[in-house]
Structure 1
């Protein structure tokens, strides 16, 4: 093996060892990103609640995922699913007028929509006749004690979230179609953060505070898990469709490399491969000869030139000049092919010599020579004469094997 090859393998091995050492010695930081992804086991993922959902709702309940909330998808997905529930646990529910309209039709036919989010769109709020605020009403004049942060359901279940900021609140509720089923306590007041809104044969369940369902809070204390489970147990249908937000958030990045880049081991292997390839190209390029530029020969454009000249003569409207050029060119061919002196063209012996060397009958040779002599002296002629002369010359060349 050449020395450069050995050096390349040694350098690649050293690189692999350095990367492995850095990976083992590095202090892996906890990822506190609020992904709300059912596959994430990080603190703010939804892995626990999604895995425990069949146990929470009972084995008789069927749970499936759906991956899109756009209008075209829901228009074909929601029909004939009236006896089912849609579950959204997202940071913000930002759907527009068209999607809201499809959800309203779905609920009015008997469907159920559960949404836990920090923000709701104004169009949905206006359609349901409620409002959401992100500050406390001005009549909260007393100092608010936020150390315990108790969140309760109307059935009495209460959980404490010491690190969770208070979410917004629902206000201006319609007491006929809207019912408060969850709240959080501020001094002696109960602030609604979980409501039920009936529409037609179905209902909306709107919840403020999706962080309560993440891995961190579900595993923090037993009462937190019980609170989250109790909220989802309010779903009344036997068919549950869980919104998988991962696909929606990654629609813009469909590169095949995302599988490699999302896994630490595969990502490091991919970087090592790229680094080794760069090293290989660097060492390989030093041993390769520089590419020799290929010089193409000049193309033979004789035919194109002749065609251009003929076109110019033809378009000038003077066939006589072209006939003279045709005669001179034909005599040149005779001189080069049969070594005859064309200066003796008017002599009788020239016709005999031409007939002997070409094998063409003597009378045809004499007629052709007479025609050539006549047109050498003509200055004006017609197109028909040019065509006739060309035909006689081509016929003679064919008989004399000049073509």
Structure 2
């Protein structure tokens, strides 16, 4: 059935690469490369002709308000997204109860919430966590495999957007590794099952594998194999995570401080009197007052600060040659103004006159001038050479 969507890929190519949306949106109604249109519409076939319901409310509200956890009918819950952004903190205990009673939860996320990690005792590591741009994601290629060798095909090569994301720690007593990803030549877990009560959590770190692009690019078997771990012929709750929890927000509103004041007559009058008093205070203090005379600070000599800023900029950029040239120019200018010497020709006669007028040893003066001549001819200078020159000039001038 997935092959019937192949014309979509051809249509994307005909429309033009410049207009193709390569953002990872994971939306069930999106036919863009990284939408979930195909996987959702084929879910009934992949899950053994089970009835698939697209949730119109937050999963927490659905579980609590509809008392799904207490229902005798067990279900599958599926969500394929970048992360569970819309999950409130309160959903984790509900998930645990939901699974403990025989239901199953399938989550394919790039990132899992810390509350879920803590509750199920696992941790993850994403070596490409800071890769966001489309051009950089396109270069991320890799191989995903299943542990179950009974599958007709258990190894799949993905040509883009495959982050090096894997499970780092987990409880081996309750966890089974179902799939792996190759990272630096080593196979590490990316798909696990965590047994909990009568049900299980199925956690996959590569939702990109279930998107339109990969299902039309020969990877539909991977999605079919992954979802085959869910029990067949069960009703499936498919979560697009389109809304935040209204029930949790309502609970937060119940704790609103103003609502608490308004529910008590005494506190309500106190609130009204305080507001009226504040308005009267503002009204009687709104008369015109003389503006304070601003203090005009005298202009500051910022030459030293500016010089320090420029020097720090060159140090930060590690442009040592530029700083060396400026140190030499500074020294020669000092020689011209203080000792009235011509610096156009740094010969022996110049060295003798400089040593005599500055009161420095002839050998020390000669060594400094030769160092300046040598560094002037270099194309690049090291940090150490800059430091040595600085110390020599400072010592000479003192």
The TM-score, its normalising length taken from structure 2, stands at 0.50
Structure with higher Rg: it is 1
